[in-house]
Amino acid sequence: MNKEYNTTVLAYLGDAVYELYIRKMLILREANVGADSLHRKATRYVSASGQSESVKKLMKEFLKEDEVKLVKRARNHKTSSHPRGADPVEYKLATGFEALIGDLYIRDEIERLIEIVDMAVKIIDGEEI
């Protein structure tokens, strides 16, 4: 599939894919915890600040050139939506991260998607990559 999708659409898809991955990870880590607790724990991973923190580091140290270009293209895309309680710069970077996840998912590059999400989780958890 060589089609170039709108970055807003890719971010829309990437948001869902990333959140599903995070939910699965937390359930596997903490099987007998209630949904409310899981939701609170997921927030640090799916928040604009968590995503922007991880994508900044990934752009410097881990992402391929074409992946960085996509993140920047999505980050710079003009949008009519406004961040709720998030710093606008963090929100735009998080949108770039989500667009990358959506792009990898739609192109069935699941192995690379999992590598990137695993690295993002490690960054958010404060681990070295």
Is 15 considered catalytic here?
yes
Q: How far apart are CA 59 and CA 99, in angstroms?
A: 14
Active-site residue, selected from the candidate residues 15, 66, 87, 125: 15
Cα three-residue angle 124-125-129, rounded to 5 degrees? 80
SS (H, E, C) 54-79: HHHHHHHHCCCHHHHHHHHHHHHCCC
Using only C-alpha atoms, what is the Rg of the chain?
14
Using DSSP, state whether 99 is helix, strand or coil. helix
Q: Supply the residues annotated as catalytic.
A: 15
